[in-house]
């Protein structure tokens, strides 16, 4: 399957500006669908659009690091105009009609979505819709190939010193150390070549303190405006971890978590992991004390509230941290309510259990990345099992009082029970 491709076939055109030199038949494919395919008002169809490729290449270069690294920051909030400007091809139209294609990172992978649309002024209708999740490296390779082809075309036409030339040179000449800083900036939705000095100073100060993985978790969860405040919360979380008593992964270390499959929604992995863990540990999926038994087995004390957590909001972008050192883990939970800490404690189990390295530190955040989505789904299923909710539902419904009763029994917040019920097609009275 062609996950994503973008190519330009050049059309000879007189003129010495960027638009004339890069006039092309542009083909964009997503999940084997030609999303540039359109029909005009006369009913004539084509799989390619004839436009200058320069403006799309320029937009890709301008937003390079955000395109590859900036995810949505919160599942509850929609995309604002500034976010869309960095991630939607429509921003690159420059008076020409483009299909509605969005590129949104999910951590190590990227979601590419194309929608059908009618462009009234151009009297065309883009026909195809498609969606795919692909590895970030695959997207980067394809975007790079496209931009380089546009730069080469300009050079062939003896057109130089354009904004695209200058920006692409900066990107191409970025070395390994600089690239890591650029990724952090991109995750915040910023260009590393035009970044506020105070934000850059925070990144440089935190990198040796948090380490690359935790600092990336922080940037993936924070907007540029929130970054100074959220950075303080992240530092607080890791301070709590350092003082936390040791927990253990020994009871589950030999249990292999489900592997990541990009073609499936991220929450599937988290839910499946909770099922596997309960089954291998001999815990019924209707046991109201199931999560507590696992917390006790792993020596995670969610009743313990650090004095440092008093300033942290229960709905903060960063709710805790976990550090794994082989079969030992330390968990720091920021939230003030124990019901919230239990949920975050379950997220920490998943993050430590599925860690790529045996020594790794991670933040628990609100970011819409596949790993954070999976650990939230794991926590929901572990603390409020679908089978238990179904067993309590009457005619497929849970009353408001039933939701609160279940939440009290499970020692989680009522919104976790309600959302878990909703996600599993159990009707819930408004909370």
Residues 234 and 91 in one domain: no
User: Which residue, of 148, 172, 196, is where some domain finishes?
Assistant: 172
For residue 291, being part of any structural domain is answered with yes
Is residue 379 domain-shared with residue 420, that is, in the same domain? no
Domain-embedded: residue 336: yes
Structure-block tokens of residue 72 = 């949505």
- The range of the structural domain enclosing residue 34 comes to 4-172
**Positions in the chain whose pLDDT score sits under 50:** 310-311
Domain boundary residue, one of 146, 172, 198: 172
pLDDT at 1: 83
188 in a domain, yes or no? no
Same domain, 240 and 356: yes
Same domain, 68 and 155: yes
Statement to judge: residues 277 and 393 lie in one domain: no
355 lies in the same domain as 330: yes
Please indicate, yes or no, whether residues 163 and 28 belong to a single structural domain of this protein: yes
Instruction: Give yes or no: residues 401 and 376 share one domain.
Output: no
Residue 306: the pLDDT is 66
Q: In this structure, is residue 205 part of a structural domain? A: no
Mark whether 322 and 417 lie in a shared domain. no
Please tell me the predicted confidence (pLDDT) of residue 4: 97
Please give the pLDDT value at position 310: 47
Q: Would residue 236 count as lying in a domain?
A: yes
pLDDT tens sequence across 325-370: 999 999 999 999 999 999 999 999 999 999 999 999 999 999 999 9
Number of domains the chain contains: 3
Regarding whether 309 and 266 lie in a shared domain, the answer is yes
Q: Is residue 208 part of a domain?
A: no
In a domain, 203, yes or no: no
Residue ending a domain, among 383, 402, 417, is: 383
| Domain assignment present for 135 | yes
Clarify whether residues 137 and 277 are in a common domain: no
254 with 150, same domain: the answer is: no
């Amino acid at each position: 399957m062609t996950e994503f491709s973008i190519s330009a076939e050049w059309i000879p055109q007189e003129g010495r500006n960027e638009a004339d030199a890069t006039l092309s038949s542009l083909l964009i494919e997503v999940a084997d669908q030609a999303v540039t395919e359109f029909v005009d008002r006369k009913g004539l169809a084509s799989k390619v659009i004839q436009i200058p490729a320069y403006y799309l290449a320029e937009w890709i270069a301008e937003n390079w690091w955000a395109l590859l690294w900036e995810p949505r920051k919160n599942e509850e909030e929609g995309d604002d105009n500034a976010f869309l400007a960095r991630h939607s091809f429509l921003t690159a139209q420059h008076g020409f009609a483009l299909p509605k294609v969005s590129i949104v990172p999910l951590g190590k992978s990227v979601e590419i979505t194309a929608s059908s649309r009618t462009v009234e002024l151009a009297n065309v209708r883009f026909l195809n819709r498609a969606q795919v999740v692909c590895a970030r490296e695959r997207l980067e390779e394809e975007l790079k190939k496209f931009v380089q082809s546009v730069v080469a075309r300009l050079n062939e036409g003896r057109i130089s010193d354009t904004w695209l030339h200058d920006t692409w040179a900066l990107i191409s000449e970025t070395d390994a150390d600089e690239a890591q800083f650029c990724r952090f900036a991109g995750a915040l939705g910023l260009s590393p070549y035009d970044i506020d000095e105070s934000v850059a100073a925070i990144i440089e100060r935190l990198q040796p303190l948090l380490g690359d993985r935790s600092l990336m978790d922080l940037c993936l969860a924070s907007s540029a405006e929130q970054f100074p405040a959220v950075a303080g919360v992240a530092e607080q979380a890791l301070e709590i971890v350092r003082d936390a008593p040791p927990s253990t992964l020994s009871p589950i270390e030999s249990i292999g978590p489900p592997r990541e499959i990009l073609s499936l929604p991220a929450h599937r992995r988290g839910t499946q992991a909770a099922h596997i863990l309960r089954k291998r540990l001999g815990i019924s999926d209707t046991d109201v004390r199931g999560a507590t038994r696992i917390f006790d087995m792993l020596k995670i004390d969610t009743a313990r509230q650090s004095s440092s957590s008093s300033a942290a909001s229960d709905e903060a972008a960063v709710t805790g941290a976990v550090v794994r050192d082989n079969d030992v883990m330390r968990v720091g939970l920021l939230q003030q309510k124990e019901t919230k800490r239990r949920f975050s404690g379950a997220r920490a189990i998943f993050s430590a259990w599925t860690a790529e390295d045996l020594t790794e530190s991670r933040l628990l955040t609100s970011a819409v990345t596949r790993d954070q989505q999976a650990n939230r789904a794991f926590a929901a299923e572990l603390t409020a099992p679908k089978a238990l909710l179904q067993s309590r539902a009457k005619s497929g419904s849970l009353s408001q009082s039933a939701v609160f009763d279940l939440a009290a029994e499970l020692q989680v917040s009522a919104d976790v029970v309600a959302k878990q019920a909703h996600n599993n097609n159990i009707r819930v009275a408004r909370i």
